Amino acid sequence: MKEEVKGIPVRVALRCRPLVPKEISEGCQMCLSFVPGEPQVVVGYNATVLAYGQTGSGKTYSMGGAYTAEQENEPTVGVIPRVIQLLFKEIDKKSDFEFTLKVSYLEIYNEEILDLLCPSREKAPQISIREDPKEGIKIVGLTEKTVLVALDTVSCLEQGNNCRTVASTAMNSQSSRSHAIFTISIEQRKKSDKNSSFRSKLHLVDLAGSERQKKTKAEGDRLKEGESN
């Protein structure tokens, strides 16, 4: 289903799990389907996609925050890998433009910004937030990698996922204890006019789960992490 609502830039989507074998054998049918549209970042708009909900509800899974290369062709692959594939398909169609894409991946853990694409956190430069007159809010010191194809991009996603902070609680054995933001920065210019260019950014966000200490039974560091969320 695709419904355009003029003047409202916010969309809310529901992701349903696939049918289980028992449901298929009983003749159950899918109740929802979505037709992907053109990513608006390709035409110059900034965009953000985020998952929010209770801990253990499947946010990281749905966003693709646990993505590995082996999952590439699985029907349950998450939002971020799907968006990456769609984005590069749309870019390939715009042969009259030149594109430069860069990605960054950060984690906000206990109110501290961590660089998920830095090989060694011990050697990571100090990260700070600044306001740039041209680029707006900017994270200074954050690693940005230039990507040429979808495979480069998902490799960065997988690298960052392996560095995320996870821990066990009573509600989730692999609970993401941080907010994570995977950002794709796009600069494009017309081949016929090298002086004309514009930039856009796509932020793909996996928020740490909202939780109650009574249910998670969190103590010590786990409790502090939950309070930060």
Binding residues: 53-60
Question: Do 141 and 125 meet the contact criterion of CB atoms below 8 Å apart?
Answer: yes
Residue entry with tokens 């899974």? 61
Which stretch of DSSP H or E encloses residue 105?
Answer: strand 97-109
d(CA 11, CA 93): 25
d(CA 91, CA 41): 10
The values of phi and psi at residue 99, to 5°, are -120, 140
Residues of the binding site for ATP: 53-60
Question: Do 82 and 72 meet the contact criterion of CB atoms below 8 Å apart?
Answer: no
Q: Is 20 left (phi over 0), alpha (psi -120 to 50) or beta?
A: beta
